[in-house]
Copies of this chain bind each other. A is one copy, B any other.
Amino acid sequence: MKCNEINVRVRYQETDQMGIVYYSNYFVYFEMGRIEFLRNHGISYAEIEKENIFLAVAEAHCKYRAPAMFDDLLVIKTCLSKMKHARIEFCYEIRRNNEEKLIAEGTTLLACLDINRKPMAIPEKVKNALM
């Protein structure tokens, strides 16, 4: 399975009054992970949107194992777990830098859409880059 890692420093804005990272922010970290995964495989998501290829989230899931805190340096591990005709699934694991303990893990299923938000086959150049 192809994987990729990025570091993200937790922002004050991302905490809530429980003193931990608010739960929806993990999905933002996931998005950052997959953007860099794509870049790492030669695909600029900013560029492919300009060619009217959109990867829209069809499904998202996260399990929260332990809280992340303000100023934590997180490692977001992103792996390509499935690729079908018109859909790509990524899975993610989030840890603190240099720690084994899992903070969160999740998946997102992305649908490839055209300019009219209709499903389309993943273009060959994207497929080839990711395989």
Binds B, one of A64-72, A87-95, A120-128: A64-72
Closest Cβ neighbor of A44 among chain B residues: B71
Q: Is A98 an interface residue (CB 8 A)?
A: no
User: A15 contacts B13, CB within 8 Å?
Assistant: no
Contact of A25 among B19, B24, B45, B63 (CB under 8 A): B24
Interface bracket on A? 35 or more
By a CB distance below 8 angstroms, the chain B residues around A117 are: 67
Q: Is A5 an interface residue (CB 8 A)?
A: no
Contact of A18 among B9, B35, B44, B56 (CB under 8 A): B56
Distance in angstroms from A68 CB to nearest chain B CB is: 12
